[in-house]
Amino acid sequence: MIYPGDDRIAKRRRAILNKDTALKQLREVADEDLVMILGHRNPGERYSSVHPPLDELKEAEDPIRDLIEATPGAKGGDRIRYVQFTDSVYHSPITPIFRGRMYHIRYRGADTVAYSGRELMEARERDLEKYTKELLETEIFDPARTAIRGITVHGSAMRLDEDGLMFDARRRYRYDKDENTVIYSKNQMAIPIDRSISLGSPRDEEDLKADSIIYGLDTIGYRDAEELWEVTGKLMEDNVKGGLNPKWVER
Per-residue pLDDT of the chain (251 residues; tens, 9 = 90+): 567 888 899 999 999 999 999 999 999 999 999 999 999 999 999 999 999 999 898 888 888 888 989 999 999 999 999 999 999 999 999 999 999 999 999 999 999 999 888 999 999 999 999 999 999 999 999 999 999 999 999 867 678 988 999 999 999 999 999 999 999 999 999 999 999 999 999 999 999 999 999 988 888 886 777 777 777 778 888 889 888 888 888 76
Q: Long-range CB contacts (< 8 A, 24+ apart) of 198-204?
A: 199/27, 199/29, 199/136, 199/141, 199/143, 199/173, 200/26, 200/27, 200/143, 201/143, 202/142, 202/143, 202/144, 202/145, 202/164, 202/165, 202/175, 203/142, 203/144
Beta-carbon contacts of residue 66 (< 8 Å; ≥ 6 apart): none
Q: Where in the chain is the domain with CATH 3.90.320.20?
A: 8-219
Q: Using only C-alpha atoms, what is the Rg of the chain?
A: 20
Q: What pLDDT, on the 0 to 100 scale, is given for residue 20?
A: 94
Q: Which of 34, 142, 136 is nearest to 88 (CA)?
A: 142
- The pairing of strands 146-148 and 181-186 is unpaired
**pLDDT for the residue 148:** 96
- H/E stretch holding 87: strand 80-87
Cα–Cα nearest to 40, from 88, 71, 73, 75: 73
| Superfamily of domain 8-219 in the CATH hierarchy | Methyl-coenzyme M reductase, gamma subunit (3.90.320.20)
